[in-house]
């Protein structure tokens, strides 16, 4: 099926359920030898795609993913960027939304598809969702129209849908349909054919790819809840070394309005700490000032995170902190959509 001009796709295995097989005796799951992928998925031979595979030396459960490994993954793709038309990254689903978000920030001027996928059941199991996810992800990573890739961005493919990487969230630990893109349309849907939502896809540009592999992990996440005590809130905000917090607020960005609550936030900001307000709601955006219970937040200099997911908020902060920007420039970049992670008009 393959020709000299067939698109070239590199499959990178980082770990996760998709690449595991069950030990017939112990029944436990362990990663299989990835060079034997075609034995697990013989259907791959029918694709008109030149496939290469690369397995990291120590595949992991994605709960052990971290910013150093994000950087290594981005570098690996960057070093092979010219040799392939697209990349498929096999990754555990648990933290896939974080890795996908981080990859979007690391790549500036990405003009090829980087498609993350995985599965809820190992690829060797009879009812696996892994085969369809892998085969469709390869098809998307190799899809071209008039000589250009159709998808020129980092995206997640799972259970028939393609999502923008930095808009995804894992919302279901049981069902095959594990991901959602709560505030951005799906990029493509796989039925009998793969239908691309061309209006939602990022356009290609002709600029040279740059990679930024540094992250600063001095970031905290604080979830506000009714009854939160002054002692607990103060303890979190004074964590040593932390440079920025994601504040997970109610509804459209609201919090308790007791004076101590705002005073603790204000003194953190005066110490140079950046605070980014994102909503605890699954869908929707922060609009500071819409309710009285968020006016004070805006007035003391908390940044409204608009419709950022938590995953995009955390990785964007880690990314921006590593750029050594001034406090003001960091604020400005947080309110700007750098890689399509934010709907700017909805942000305050
Ligand atoms: N715990 C696994 C992981 O994230 C689950 C999966 O692969 O989907 O690596």
Contact 253, 277 (CB under 8 A): yes
DSSP element (H, E) containing 117: strand 114-117
Domain with CATH 3.40.50.1170 in the chain: 8-211
- Contact, 346 vs 208, CB < 8 A? no
Taking CA atoms only, the protein residue closest to ligand 1 atom 3 is 92
* Options 14, 17, 95, 255, the catalytic residue: 17
Provide the 3-class DSSP secondary structure of residue 277.
strand
What is the reported pLDDT for 2?
Answer: 65
- Tell me, in angstroms, the distance from the centre of ligand 1 to residue 19's CA: 10
Distance 119 CA to ligand 1 centre (A): 8
CA separation for the pair 133, 139 (Å, rounded)? 10
Q: Is the CB of residue 133 below 6 angstroms from any atom belonging to ligand 1?
A: no
Residue 119 alpha carbon, nearest atom of ligand 1:
8
**Which residue's alpha carbon is at the smallest distance from atom 8 of ligand 1?**
93
Written as tens digits, the pLDDT of the chain (348 aa) is: 567 689 999 999 999 989 887 788 888 877 777 777 778 888 999 999 999 999 998 889 999 999 999 999 999 999 999 999 999 999 999 999 999 999 999 999 999 999 999 998 988 888 999 999 999 999 999 999 998 999 999 999 999 999 999 999 999 988 888 999 999 999 999 999 999 999 999 999 889 999 999 999 999 999 999 999 999 999 999 999 999 999 999 999 999 999 999 999 999 999 999 999 999 999 999 999 898 888 899 999 999 999 999 999 999 999 999 999 999 999 999 999 999 999 986 444
The architecture of the domain spanning 219-334 is 3-Layer(aba) Sandwich (3.40)
Note the pLDDT of residue 347.
44
Whether 62 lines ligand 1, by a CB cut-off of 6 Å, is yes
Testing ligand 1's pocket by substitution, the residue of 93, 125, 174 carrying the most ligand atoms inside 8 A of its CB is: 93
CATH of region 8-211:
3.40.50.1170
84 Cα–ligand 1 center, Å: 27
DSSP 8-state secondary structure symbol assigned to residue 24: T
17 catalytic? Reply is yes
Residue with tokens 């959602």: 180
> Best substitution site from 59, 94, 170, 177 to test ligand 1's pocket, by max atoms within 8 Å of Cβ?
94
Task: Locate CATH 3.40.50.40 in the chain.
Answer: 219-334
**Is 19 near ligand 1, meaning CB less than 6 Å away?**
no
Is the distance from the beta carbon of residue 118 to the nearest atom of ligand 1 less than 6 Å? Answer: yes
Report the b/e string of 288-323 with b at 16+ CB within 10 A: beeeebbebbbebebbbbbbbbbbbbbbbbbbbbbe
Question: From the CB of 304, is ligand 1 less than 6 Å away?
Answer: no
Q: What is the pTM of this model?
A: 0.95
State the distance from the centre of ligand 1 to the C-alpha of 92, rounded, in angstroms.
Answer: 4
**pLDDT value at position 346?**
46
In the chain, DSSP finds a helix count (H) and a strand count (E) of 9, 20
Asked whether the beta carbons of 88 and 151 are under 8 A apart, the reply is: no
Residue 46 phi, psi (nearest 5): -80, -10
């Amino acid at each position: 099926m393959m020709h000299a001009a067939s698109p070239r796709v590199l499959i990178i295995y980082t770990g996760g359920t998709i690449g595991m097989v069950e030990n017939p005796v112990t029944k436990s799951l362990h990663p299989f030898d990835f060079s034997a992928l075609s034995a697990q998925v013989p259907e791959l031979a029918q694709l008109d795609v030149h496939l290469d595979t690369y397995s990291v030396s120590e595949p992991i459960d994605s709960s052990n993913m971290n910013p150093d490994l994000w950087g290594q993954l981005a570098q690996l793709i960057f070093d092979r960027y010219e040799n392939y038309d697209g990349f498929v990254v096999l990754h555990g689903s648990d933290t896939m939304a974080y890795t996908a978000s981080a990859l979007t920030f690391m790549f500036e001027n990405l003009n090829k598809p980087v498609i993350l996928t995985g599965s809820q059941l190992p690829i060797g199991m009879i009812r696996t969702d892994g085969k369809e996810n892998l085969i469709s992800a390869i098809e998307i990573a190799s899809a071209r129209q008039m000589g250009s890739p159709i998808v020129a961005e980092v995206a997640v493919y799972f259970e028939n849908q393609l999502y923008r990487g930095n808009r995804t969230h894992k919302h279901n630990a049981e069902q095959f349909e594990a991901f959602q893109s709560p505030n951005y349309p799906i990029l493509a849907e796989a039925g009998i054919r793969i239908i691309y939502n061309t209006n939602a896809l990022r356009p290609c540009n002709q600029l040279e790819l740059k990679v930024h592999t540094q992250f600063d992990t001095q970031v905290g996440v604080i979830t506000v809840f009714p009854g939160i005590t002054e002692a607990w809130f103060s303890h979190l905000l004074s964590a040593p070394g932390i440079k920025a917090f994601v504040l997970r607020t109610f509804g459209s960005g609201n919090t308790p309005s007791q004076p101590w609550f705002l005073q603790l936030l204000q003194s953190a900001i005066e110490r140079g700490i950046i605070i980014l307000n994102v909503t605890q709601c699954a869908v929707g955006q922060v609009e500071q000032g819409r309710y009285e219970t968020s006016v004070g937040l805006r007035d003391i200099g908390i940044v409204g995170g608009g419709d950022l997911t938590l995953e995009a908020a955390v990785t964007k902060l880690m990314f921006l902190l590593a750029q050594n920007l001034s406090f003001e420039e960091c604020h400005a970049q947080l309110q700007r959509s750098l890689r399509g992670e934010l709907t700017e008009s909805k942000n305050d």
